[in-house]
Structure 1
Amino acid sequence: MPKRKSSESDTQPRKSRSDKKTRKSGVETEKSGNSMKKLLVEDPNQFSDLWELSYFVVRNDGGAVCLVCRKVLPSIIKSDIEQHYLELHKEQFSDCSCEDKIEILKKLKNSNCLLPLLVNSPGRQKPPKTVQTVQTELAEKEITSVERRMSASYAIALRIAQEGRPFTHGYAIQESSIEYARSLGDKEMMKDYESLALSKTTVSRRISELDLNIERKIKSQLENCQYFSLCLCEDIRKNHLMIFARITQSDFTTNEELLHLTSMQHFLKDDSIVDFLEQTINKFGNFLKCSGLSMSRRKFGISFENLLQNCGITCPKYPFKVEIETLIGKAFENNQTIKRIEQIINLIMEMKEPSGHLKAFAKETKMVYRQLAVHSKLLWLFQDNYFEKIFTSQEDIIRYIKINDEPGSAHCREFFEDSHFLSELALLADLTTMSEKLNRNLQQPDQCIADLINNIRGFRNKLQILTKQIEKNEFDELPCCDQLAKMCSVNLSEFTPIIQGMIEELNNHFRIFFEMDADIKLFENPLSVRIEYQRPELQFELCYLQADAVLIGRRLRGIEFFKMLNQEHYPKLKDFGLRIFSMFGSSKIYETAHCIIRSIASVYSSKTTDGYSEIVRVGTSTTPLDILELVRNRKSLVKLQNKV
């Protein structure tokens, strides 16, 4: 066999046992002749500063933190840290040189706010705290706790205003919170709840401060907005006059706010109402950006129109709500049915011992009748649809009349035996139900005038179809009439003139909507309108718009389409979309304000109407509030006053 070639290692002499490496406390010494070299050896169970550059990790209390993914590594064993780096980040930094890694490490440390973590790294000692530093930290901690308590006080006051609760409701919230903390056995939580300032005076002051903050923000929004519309509401139920604003910014964000609320007793004439409207708007700005004026009940006469134009209000004026007592009650104004229903209502309220369903009906009727204004003759019948309640309770009423022979009850019994009266009662109940459904649709939030017009147009078409169905004795949409038809033979075709009168009243009341038909169609679908029928200033942009293949391929309509338009290419069309979108189309804020006023009036009966304004504005506002900023501004003001 051939001899094995001797390698270089074979020629070297073997080392003796005394020449082997010896380890002692992480230091390895090697004896080679008369020289000794000391080499540092890494302990895999202790964190090394070299790992920061090798694996991009820093030391944390009891563990490590990866600077790349910010993951906390509970272990500081080298194998675990190395495995994390190899699995997640090796490919990302495989081509980096040592100089590149040093620069990357510096950037990672600066971008990640890890200074508190770096203080705990080996070799870095915390500087000793002076007495002044300790006092400052304690003071900052105390300020933070005070701010939290004040913020909670403001938040609870805001909630009380939104719910229309009395100011003393803060006591109940505080006591309930303390009892909750006591049941949990948490003494710290109990102390926090006990330190909350929720007295009646404090809640009232908090709401006033929130109101001032909201008022300043509303003024700023009106100054910077693209368009705004106004809503003038005359509430005869509570004798209030309210002014709302729908504010629209250039990015199509909107919010609806209460500008002012006052009593109507000083505003009985048109000129006084116009003067009040002008004073309110001058407080916040002017009418230059006003896109529309909506009103609840008032009819637009020539004198009122001239007064508005003299004040610079040349925008469209339109109603935003359907008054059921006006729409239906006018058709039955000279009818005996309403008078008979009032006699039945009086009989129910004077019942001595009603039972069952009739007892609850009588109690509710007394409560509602007591809260109504004297001049609202038809309002209390239509607002809760008493026609339907009487129709469904006719058997109980007849049974009560038979058992208790009270004076005047015989006439009411004859009413229920008259088929003509029952037919009118059933028709009134069904028409009132349809009108209530329409008003619920009008109360949906985030609606503009296009949604309002579509709801009114749909209701008018429904009435037109209804006249044809009544002539054929088809009562699919009239449940009370359908129930009556099953009880006896009825012929409702004689009531079609009443429905025709409702259609005419609807056309007269909302005639401006039909004049704006071209603008609404353009707003809903600008790609399908005929250009020659549109405004002259928009026709050229519409020519390019309807030829744009990209826009044609988008299946967007309405406001979403106008949000997508390029401001540089279609500035006039975008401005048109903003103006239409800024016009009031919902009565949601009006109904919310009315509910808050009704709750407040039941508690503070002696409070004046002007005192409701700040509560209702805070309760109905959709403007975002930074309560912590409000708290800090208030504290800064208090410090400044103390220095002075």
Structure 2
Amino acid sequence: MRLEDISNQISNNVKDIIADCTHFSIALDESTDVSNTNQLLIFVRAIKEDFTIFEELLKVCSLHSTTRGVDIFNAVKSAVEGFGGFEKLSPVVTDGAKSMTGTISGFVGFLRQNQSTVPTLHCIIHQEALCAKSIKLSTTMANVTKITNLIRGGNRSLTHRKFLTLLEEMDSAYGDLLLHAEVRWLSRGKCLVRFFELRHEIATFPREEVTNSAELQNDLEDVEFLRNLAFLTDITQHLNVLNLQLQGKKQTICQMVGFVDSFRKKLHLFKSALDKNNLLHFPCCRKLSEEEGLEFRDYNEIIEDLSSEFKRRFNDFESFRTDISLFSNPIHCDIESQPGHLQLELCELQCDPSLNTSPVTGIDFRKLLSPERYPLLRNWALKLCPVFASTYICETAFSSLKHVKSKNRNRLSDVVLSHILQVVTSQLEVDFISLVSSFMKPQCSH
């Protein structure tokens, strides 16, 4: 039995799922592999009548020349036209690159030129990461990175070993510093936490052990740098919590927008607390305040700027706000403000005693709706639930791609790579019995 046969069975099952659903959504992301070939991943999200969600790889498009908006559009069009085309397609989520979001020469522009009204979304996790980069403490982060690199970066194995020995002698809480990787969403927060907790050990490390470090190590004695470090560590940790909430497969757009809304409320709480120098939600700032007697009231301006950045972004999700509100709370919503075709069924829903007392919410609540009594509400939910809100599933597939097509396997053909990724990323069960029986001379003993 060959990989191709397993991949083809999965692909056929995906086609059957899409054919049976009323709407499906796709997520697009593009990256360059180890052989400098641009790989466009197209994932599909569909939902059955029983509200079972499927997220599967629809197609791997290897773009050997350019990755312009027209190239991406043609690849997507070729992938979806066999499943009802753009008529059956609900929102498309992208990574936010210009070739994707450009309204003239980008994928979105060509989508509109072809008279398609399919909504397009910028990945909610990417937007959160862009908000995090707006914090005006880049110099502090740069100095943290420089000091870390002076100790354990590059060809500094001897310096690094001496530092590890110092940490062991001082019985430190952590055994080493962490290197910062800009492309990893959580790297900044983890690096800062480790640096802050080891700040005393770094300051104790003899300067003669680290070349060109005098100016940077002076920062560790500078109160202003320490204040910035403590605040940046705390606020980045809060952002990391949000980022982790947004990660994961099969999350609905309602859940993810709810996480962002909740963080906005937290920012208002943080600003109010800092106005009073209340450091309850800022453990690093509180620790530094107890040691040095410092105040952090002036950092509420950064919180306010961050809050404004969150308000400025995520506008593409605002068009779903009414639907999200209804999906999240159909029992207590204002019926008159809802779409007219749903109002009569909402009246019955809100007066249904079995549903009013049900403890389940979200998709599980929709499973309780009778198709005979609530057909319109079910169909409306079946259109909203498949919506992708992030390209997280594409990012995880790229991690698999990195291992599949490595430096030692960089000659894999596009077809073989597509088959491997189809199998690696799939959550569908493979019917091996039917595959074996389909061969002319199956080797049953194996």
- Give the TM-score normalised by the residue count of structure 2: 0.83
Shift of the 481–597 alpha-carbon distance from structure 1 to 2, 3 Å rule, reads: farther
Q: d(CA) in 2 for partners of 1:461 and 1:302?
A: 32
Partner of 2:118: 315
Partner of 2:171: none
Higher relative contact order (CA 8 A, sep 6+): 2
**Secondary structure of 2:236's aligned partner:** helix
Q: Out of 419, 424, 431, which is 2:235 matched to?
A: 431
Q: d(CA) in 1 for partners of 2:290 and 2:227?
A: 12
Deviation at 1:248, TM superposition (A): 0.8
Matches within 5 A, 1:177-576: 206-235=2-31, 240-262=39-61, 266-298=65-97, 300-303=101-104, 304=106, 305-311=108-114, 313-323=116-126, 325-332=129-136, 335-348=138-151, 349-350=153-154, 351=156, 352-354=158-160, 355=162, 356=164, 361=176, 365=179, 378-379=182-183, 383=187, 385-404=190-209, 406-576=210-380
Partner of 1:177: none
Shift of the 282–234 alpha-carbon distance from structure 1 to 2, 3 Å rule, reads: same
Deviation at 1:515, TM superposition (A): 3.3
Shift of the 382–554 alpha-carbon distance from structure 1 to 2, 3 Å rule, reads: closer
Deviation at 1:381, TM superposition (A): 8.6
Question: Contact conserved, 2:122 with 2:316, CA < 8 A, in 1?
Answer: no
Alignment size in residue pairs? 421
**Secondary structure of 1:294's aligned partner:** strand
Shift of the 544–245 alpha-carbon distance from structure 1 to 2, 3 Å rule, reads: same
Shift of the 487–297 alpha-carbon distance from structure 1 to 2, 3 Å rule, reads: farther
Q: d(CA) in 2 for partners of 1:442 and 1:325?
A: 11
Q: d(CA) in 2 for partners of 1:237 and 1:336?
A: 32
Deviation at 1:624, TM superposition (A): 1.8
Matches within 5 A, 1:560-599: 560-585=364-389, 589-599=393-403
Q: Which runs of 5 or more residues in structure 2 are unaligned?
A: 169-174
Q: d(CA) in 2 for partners of 1:396 and 1:263?
A: 49
Superposed CA deviations along residues 138-187 of structure 1, whole A, max 9, x for unmatched, are xxxxxxxxxxxx7xxxxxxxxxxxxxxxxxxxxxxxxxxxxxxxxxxxxx
Runs (4 or more) in structure 1 with deviation over 6 Å come to 236-239, 357-360
Partner of 1:616: 421
Deviation at 1:577, TM superposition (A): 1.0
Matches within 5 A, 1:66-85: none
Letter in 2 for 1:353: T
Question: Contact conserved, 2:90 with 2:387, CA < 8 A, in 1?
Answer: yes
Partner of 1:629: 434
Shift of the 494–598 alpha-carbon distance from structure 1 to 2, 3 Å rule, reads: farther
**Secondary structure of 1:231's aligned partner:** strand
Letter in 2 for 1:210: I
**Secondary structure of 1:634's aligned partner:** coil
Identity, % of aligned positions: 28
Matches within 5 A, 1:132-151: none
Shift of the 490–272 alpha-carbon distance from structure 1 to 2, 3 Å rule, reads: farther
Question: Contact conserved, 1:524 with 1:557, CA < 8 A, in 2?
Answer: yes
Deviation at 1:586, TM superposition (A): 6.3
**Secondary structure of 2:85's aligned partner:** coil
Letter in 1 for 2:13: K
Deviation at 1:609, TM superposition (A): 8.7
Shift of the 630–421 alpha-carbon distance from structure 1 to 2, 3 Å rule, reads: same
Q: d(CA) in 2 for partners of 1:306 and 1:286?
A: 17
Shift of the 477–601 alpha-carbon distance from structure 1 to 2, 3 Å rule, reads: farther
Question: Contact conserved, 1:261 with 1:609, CA < 8 A, in 2?
Answer: no
